[in-house]
């Protein structure tokens, strides 16, 4: 095993420093920290980079400098809400892609005036004639499909992973490219097993947590059935 890298020692010190400062407090400049810690600016920057990725610091160009990130209230977004009840309202974009074959519904998820995520849904255009023109953006997508096109949705098995922000998504969410995001994706089928909707959501994990539900388990039952 190797020794603890200096940049990680710097990170530890920075975390201590950070814990004592209230939100929004300007942080010492990188050059000053480098001198204080007796390290090169490059090394200190590597530690700062990680703290920025973790959402604990914010950096702005110019005279504004680095500051303690406001401890934003983490918005708790439930999986059920994400799938069923999201009404995109004004920020939705509907475009047809793949030679008119597919309709893409892209919506920015906003909480308290801040973007917290992007949802992108793909539908077969042939299954939903006139969708692009008739979609009511104040209605959750799945409810709209259920009501207007008589879709009956079956069980869902979404999966969750991490992804790095592409430059495009980074622009939408106000983060730097290559920022890690929480990714939730699913394929929705109707009751006959026909695929209906392919969606995924990218969430800023510094602003939103995904909450899930696991019903209570009776281990006695589990045990006797095994």
Partner DNA sequence: CAGTGGTCTAGACCACTCT
Partner DNA sequence: GAGTGGTCTAGACCACTGG
The pair of three-digit structure tokens given for residue 147, joined into one six-digit string: 């009501």
Question: Using CB under 7 A, which residues numbered 44 to 103 contact DNA?
Answer: 45-46, 59-66
d(CA 99, CA 125): 10
* CA distance linking residue 185 with residue 200, whole number of Å: 4
Cα 53 to Cα 13, 48, 50, 206, distances in angstroms? 17, 9, 5, 9
Measured in Å, how far apart are the chain's first and last C-alpha atoms? 42
Among 177, 194, 195, 211, binds DNA (CB under 7 A): 177
Residue among 13, 41, 127, 137 that touches DNA (CB under 7 A): 41
Nearer to DNA, 60 or 223 (CB): 60
Instruction: Provide the minimum distance between the beta carbon of 15 and DNA in the complex, in angstroms, as a whole number.
Output: 16
Phi, psi values for residue 170, rounded to 5°: -60, -40
Q: Which of 20, 62, 193, 220 is close enough to bind a copy of itself by CB under 8 A? A: 220
Q: Enter the tokens of residue 108.
A: 């920015």
Question: Crossing angle of helices 30-37/6-19, nearest 10°?
Answer: 110
Query: Which residues face 124 on adjacent strands?
Result: 102
Stretch that binds a copy of itself, among 24-32, 50-58, 99-107, 128-136 (CB under 8 A): 50-58
Angle, helix 6-19 to helix 41-53, in steps of 10 degrees: 60
Q: Which is nearer to a copy of itself, 97 or 164 (CB)?
A: 164
Q: Is residue 31 at the binding interface for DNA, with CB under 7 A as the rule? A: yes
Candidates 26-34, 127-135, 156-164, 204-212: pick the segment binding DNA (CB under 7 A): 26-34
* Residue 119, φ and ψ in degrees, nearest 5: -115, 135
- Residues 168-187 close enough to bind a copy of itself by CB under 8 A: 171, 177-178, 180-182, 186
- Site membership for DNA, residue 195 (CB under 7 A): no
Nearest distance from residue 214's CB to DNA, in Å?
37
Asked whether the beta carbons of 84 and 143 are under 8 A apart, the reply is: yes
Please give the residue ranges that form the binding site for a copy of itself (CB under 8 A): 1, 4-5, 8, 50, 53-54, 76, 79-80, 83-84, 142-143, 146-147, 152-164, 167, 171, 177-178, 180-182, 186, 191, 205, 209-217, 219-220, 222-223
Please give the residue ranges that form the binding site for DNA (CB under 7 A): 1-2, 5-7, 27, 29-32, 38-43, 45-46, 59-66, 176-177
């Amino acid at each position: 095993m190797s020794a603890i890298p200096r940049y990680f020692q710097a990170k530890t010190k920075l975390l201590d420093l950070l814990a004592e400062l209230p939100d929004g407090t300007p942080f010492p400049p990188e050059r000053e920290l480098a001198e204080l810690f007796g390290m090169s600016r490059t090394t200190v920057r590597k530690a700062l980079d990680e703290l920025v990725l973790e959402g604990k610091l914010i950096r702005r160009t110019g005279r504004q400098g680095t500051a303690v990130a406001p401890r934003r209230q983490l918005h708790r977004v439930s999986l059920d809400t994400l799938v069923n009840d999201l009404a995109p309202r004004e920020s939705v974009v509907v475009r047809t892609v793949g030679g008119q074959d597919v309709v893409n519904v892209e919506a920015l998820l906003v909480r308290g005036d801040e973007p917290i995520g992007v949802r992108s849904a793909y539908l077969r255009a042939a299954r939903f004639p006139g969708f692009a023109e008739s979609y009511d953006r104040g209605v959750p997508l799945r409810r709209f499909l259920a009501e207007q096109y008589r879709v009956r949705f079956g069980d869902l098995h979404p999966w969750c992973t991490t992804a790095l922000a592409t430059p495009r998504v980074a622009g939408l969410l106000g983060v730097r490219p290559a920022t890690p995001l929480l990714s939730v994706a699913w394929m929705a089928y109707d009751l006959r097993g026909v695929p209906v909707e392919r969606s995924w959501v990218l969430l800023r994990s510094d602003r939103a947590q995904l909450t899930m539900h696991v019903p209570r388990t009776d281990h006695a039952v589990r045990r006797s059935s095994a």
